[in-house]
């Protein structure tokens, strides 16, 4: 795909040391999505001249605010740039690489990406760089796409990043490991903590994530497991430890599980969410603590994203039951935002329900 004149000028600045500062910088509006996708590999490589560095910052800033698009060639070139950067950075922005996989309208060149994926994953595993666990898993999913096999990299990554996860976080990881690289890359779009160089999340990511194989079943099973654990804590079957009912990976996984369920207004959700919120908001006995502030606030953030009447009612009940001095104040602030979000979204926004029918996101279907 031919670059725009503005993109050609920026590419020259980043790749030709003889190119001088332009009299006037290209306007950002002149850059199309495919221009950004084609320029990002050169920006990532880090131009050596001041003019090239300025062009790099312009491209990277624009790609963080808009959606780049990639051809097969620019996607392959980005992975080549990630490999080239290992020598100096001792690291690679795998989130950016994975983002390109779900921004290739004609599909990424899977076979061409397998070799650089193997190089990236081996390097980061050997260096112990596990700071991008889900992106590492996404790129590992590419390693066997050329028919040569992945040399066990997929299993090695799953084992390495699975250490220390609670049962619910481990179950989510097993689900991810069952998906292909494209589905894993789509999952990354739902993460709050993505790399600084990542583009904005794709529109409709929660709708797309909910349609992935096994995700709805996992979401329900995860919330059932969470509700059962909290019930066991209150029954004295599991020792109570304040704010320790769930590992951090489990809290994050439950947040990702509850959002699509709220979005689809799943019929089974209120029966799980109501006792779960009631149980995590107050300690067994008379202690002024609670089993998990983190999960309580994570679910509140999810309800702000996709408010339903039952979820808001359950949150208000949890707020009224909490004995911890700071929790009602925090929930009051969150509930104000939730009320505004619910008011803004009262008009139906069609989404596909679990059974394939269409219903308003914030208008419950007739049952």
pLDDT tens readout for residues 13-67:
999 999 888 888 888 899 999 999 999 999 999 998 999 999 999 999 999 999 9
pTM: 0.90
Q: Which residue has the tokens 């996860």?
A: 165
Using alpha carbons, select from 26, 101, 21, 114 the residue that is nearest to residue 69: 101
Which of the 8 DSSP states describes residue 351? E
pLDDT of residue 361: 43
CA distances from 108 to 138, 141, 304, 330 (A): 13, 13, 34, 44
Which stretches of the chain drop beneath a pLDDT of 50?
349-367
**If DSSP codes are grouped into helix, strand and coil, which group holds residue 225?**
helix
Percent of the chain having pLDDT more than 90? 88
Using alpha carbons, select from 100, 131, 128 the residue that is nearest to residue 117: 100
**If DSSP codes are grouped into helix, strand and coil, which group holds residue 359?**
strand
Using alpha carbons, select from 25, 83, 92 the residue that is nearest to residue 59: 25
pLDDT of residue 367: 29
Pairing of strands 350-352, 358-360: antiparallel
pLDDT of residue 348: 54
Q: For residues 269 and 221, is the Cβ–Cβ distance under 8 A?
A: no
pLDDT of residue 1: 78
* 3-class SS string, 153-222: HHHHHHHHHHCCCCHHHHHHHHHHHCCCHHHHHHHHCCCCCCCCCCCCCCCCHHHHHHCCCCHHHHHHHH
pLDDT of residue 27: 86
């Amino acid at each position: 795909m031919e670059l725009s004149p503005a993109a050609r000028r920026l590419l020259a600045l980043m790749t030709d040391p003889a190119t001088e500062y332009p009299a006037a910088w290209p306007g950002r509006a002149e850059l199309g999505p495919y221009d950004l996708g084609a320029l990002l590999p050169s920006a990532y490589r880090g131009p050596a001249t001041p003019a090239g560095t300025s062009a790099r910052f312009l491209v990277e800033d624009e790609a963080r605010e808009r959606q780049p698009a990639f051809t097969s060639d620019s996607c392959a070139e980005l992975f080549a740039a990630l490999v080239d950067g290992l020598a100096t950075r001792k690291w690679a922005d795998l989130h950016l690489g994975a983002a390109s996989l779900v921004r290739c309208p004609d599909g990424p060149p899977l076979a061409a990406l397998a070799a650089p994926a193997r190089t990236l994953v081996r390097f980061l595993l050997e260096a112990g760089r596990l700071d991008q666990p889900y992106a590492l898993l996404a790129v590992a999913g590419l390693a066997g796409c050329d028919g040569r096999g992945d040399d066990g990299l997929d299993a090695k990554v799953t084992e390495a990043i699975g250490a220390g996860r609670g049962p619910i976080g481990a179950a989510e990881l097993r689900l991810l490991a069952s998906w292909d690289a494209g589905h894993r890359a789509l999952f990354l779009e739902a993460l709050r903590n993505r790399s600084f160089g990542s583009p904005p999340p794709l529109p409709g990511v929660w709708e797309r994530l909910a349609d992935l194989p096994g995700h709805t079943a996992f979401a329900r099973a995860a919330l059932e497991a969470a509700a059962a654990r909290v019930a066991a804590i209150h029954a004295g079957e599991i020792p109570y430890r304040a704010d320790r009912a769930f590992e951090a990976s489990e809290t994050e996984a439950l947040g990702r599980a509850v959002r699509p369920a709220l979005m689809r207004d799943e019929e089974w959700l209120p029966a799980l969410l109501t006792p779960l919120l009631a149980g995590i908001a107050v300690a067994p006995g008379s202690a002024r603590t609670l089993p998990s502030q983190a999960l309580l606030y994570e679910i509140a953030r999810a309800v702000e994203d996709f408010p339903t009447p039952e979820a808001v009612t359950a949150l208000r009940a949890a707020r009224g039951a909490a004995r911890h001095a700071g929790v009602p104040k925090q929930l009051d602030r969150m509930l104000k935002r939730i009320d505004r979000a619910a008011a803004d979204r009262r008009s139906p926004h069609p989404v596909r329900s679990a059974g394939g029918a269409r219903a308003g996101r914030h208008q419950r279907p007739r049952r």
